[in-house]
Amino acid sequence: MELHGISCLILQKSHAVTFGGNNPEVAVQLNNKTTNWSLKVKYLGLYLIGGANFRIDLNVAKQKYYGCLNNIKSVVRQQVNELMILKLVKTYCLPRLLYGCEIWPTETLDMHELEVIWSNGFRHIFNCCWRYSVKPLQFFCYSLPLTHLIGERQFVFSE
């Protein structure tokens, strides 16, 4: 009977989602239990959005990135130089933003928004360039633009 209780618990966490079309009207039955249709499911920490186009919801990743960036800024304040803060951001914050980017469908993402997030991180760290591009700053700090980092990871993953 405990095994049956466990399977019921698992089914309560299960959801059905359709990628490439709308969810059908037909209910899905697993172990005589109806599984709910969802528009969005969490898989390995990523929120996958169903429907006609496969998309990823990056709101949680953005929140984690900004939370990490704000934590670093509040701890170090003016006590550490900018290159050290950048190293901390690249080590601890950037992975939170780029988690799972190897499978992101870049054609359905707002890459400009992601690039702005990364550029604003540089603007906060170096307290400059609010009206100008940070690409020269990224170049001199040996940091690629975010679109290049994502492209590089996707290329390595696909091989």
| Residue spans per domain, the chain | 2-55, 58-158
Query: Strands 46-49, 40-43: parallel, antiparallel or unpaired by DSSP?
Result: antiparallel
pLDDT-based confidence at 12, cuts 50/70/90?
low
* Nearest residue to 62 (alpha-carbon basis) of 2, 110, 10: 110
pLDDT at position 36 is 78
Q: Count other C-beta atoms under 10 Å from residue 151's C-beta.
A: 15
* Nearest residue to 100 (alpha-carbon basis) of 144, 146, 47: 47
Distance between CA atoms of 113 and 146, rounded to whole angstroms?
Answer: 10
pLDDT-based confidence at 122, cuts 50/70/90?
very high
Helix ranges (DSSP H) in 16-145: 59-76, 82-88, 94-98, 111-126, 135-140
- Range with the largest mean pLDDT of 2-11, 58-67, 74-83: 58-67
β-pair partners for 131: none
Q: Which residue has the higher pLDDT, 13 or 51?
A: 51
| Residue range 20-74, pLDDT digits in tens | 777 777 777 777 887 777 888 888 888 888 877 778 888 999 999 999 999 998 9
Distance between CA atoms of 12 and 2, rounded to whole angstroms?
Answer: 15
